[in-house]
Structure 1
Amino acid sequence: MVKKLNKNRWLWEFSKRVVLICTALFVIGDVYSMAVMLLYENFDSLGTFIDCNTQVLRDCVFAYMVKSGLENIFKIRGGNEE
């Protein structure tokens, strides 16, 4: 039972870390691309980059929300406290 709890906790922590990493990469990517484009004074692809970068973050957060929602449904039905 303890081993199962540790595995579930690790999985929960892992998915949280993935979302945090996606968010950090989103911010770092946007700031870096803006700095490079400012340096070269060429902003032609900034909009496209931000749109693509935003889509990756949106998908990551949506997947995390679905995972959390399903976990909550199973916890409620199973009567789990953890």
Structure 2
Amino acid sequence: LTPHEAKTLVTRMGKGSKIILIGDLAQIDNPYVDAHTNGLVFTRNRLQGQPFMAHVNLFKGERSEMAEVAANLM
């Protein structure tokens, strides 16, 4: 997700809307963004502190053992 794509999603929300952006900063397939410049980080940094915004970092993987090993090794 690029910052432009994130902005496109968030700026089209209407009253009563909710949006949840989920992603793994270690799994980025776009060569033009990285763990510091992607749309998730962009959105968090720009909207942090707003009363309608929150973010949660999850540190423990909730994947199968095989998926966790593959994510760490590949």
TM-score by length of 2: 0.27
Over alpha carbons, which structure has the higher Rg?
1
Hey, which of these two has a bigger chunk of helix by percent?
1
